[in-house]
């Protein structure tokens, strides 16, 4: 439990830095691009896949990586309104709003049937 709290605290600090710095945000995304694509490649998803990322946070790097590299329709949700607002801003800056949607929603109650 302590490790989980420490990890979550670290992620919040990292996201706060990344959301304020375009340079660090882009570097972080580049660093994780290959790993993210490899992880999703294992699933062998079709070209028309609909992906849901629960807890996308204010810096939705998984979404931006997938949105830049695939034709999938991607939805990111978060139950933190501030995170949703910032994530939407990032998606818009990256001009990915055509295939990425960010919603204010709780992962415990979201309808998973369309993903």
CA distance 81 to 58: 9
Q: Which ranges constitute the DSSP H helices of 59-102?
A: 61-69, 81-93
Q: Provide the β-strand partners of residue 53.
A: 76
DSSP three-state, residue 71: coil
Q: Provide the β-strand partners of residue 50.
A: 73
Give me the pLDDT at residue 1, please: 62
Q: Are 73 and 51 in contact (CB under 8 A)?
A: yes
Q: What is the C-alpha R_g of the chain?
A: 14
pLDDT tens for the chain, residues 1 to 115: 677 778 777 777 777 777 777 788 778 788 889 999 999 999 999 988 999 999 999 989 999 999 999 999 999 999 999 999 999 998 998 899 999 999 999 999 999 999 9
């Amino acid at each position: 439990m302590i490790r989980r709290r420490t990890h979550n605290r670290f992620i919040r600090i990292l996201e706060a830095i990344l959301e304020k710095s375009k340079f660090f945000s882009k570097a972080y995304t580049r660093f994780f691009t290959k790993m993210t694509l490899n992880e999703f490649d294992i699933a062998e998803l079709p070209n028309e896949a609909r992906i849901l990322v629960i807890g996308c946070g204010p810096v939705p790097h998984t979404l931006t990586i997938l949105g830049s590299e695939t034709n999938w329709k991607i939805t990111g949700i978060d139950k933190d309104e501030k995170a949703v607002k910032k994530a939407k801003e990032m998606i818009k800056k990256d001009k990915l709003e055509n295939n990425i949607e960010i919603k204010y929603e709780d992962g415990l109650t979201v309808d998973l049937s369309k993903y």
